[in-house]
Amino acid sequence: MIAATSVTSLVFAAISITSAGALAYLVATDQRRSKPVDGAAQFRRHLDALSDDSRGHLREQIRIAREQRQGN
C-alpha cells in the first residue's frame, strides 16, 4: 500500500514538473513575440495603404481588364 502511494505521488510529481516547465516555456516565448504597437505608425501605414500611389497597380489592372473586354 505504501509503495503504491509513493509511485502515485512520483507520477503526479512528474506530471506537475512537466506541466510547470511547459507553462514556463510558453510564457517565455510569448513575451518574445509580442511587441508594443505604435498607434501613430500603424495609422500612417493605414493612410499610406489608402493613398493613390499605393493603389496605382490596381488602377492599371482595371484599365487592362476594361481594354480586354472592349477588345472581345
The model's confidence at residue 65, banded by pLDDT at 50, 70 and 90, is very high
Q: Are 54 and 48 in contact (CB under 8 A)?
A: yes
Considering the entire predicted model, what is its pTM? 0.41
The confidence score (pLDDT) of residue 12 equals: 93
> 18-36 burial, b for 16+ CB within 10 Å, e for fewer?
eeeeeeeeeeeeeeeeeee
Note the pLDDT tens digit of each residue in 15-39.
999 999 999 999 888 766 656 677 8
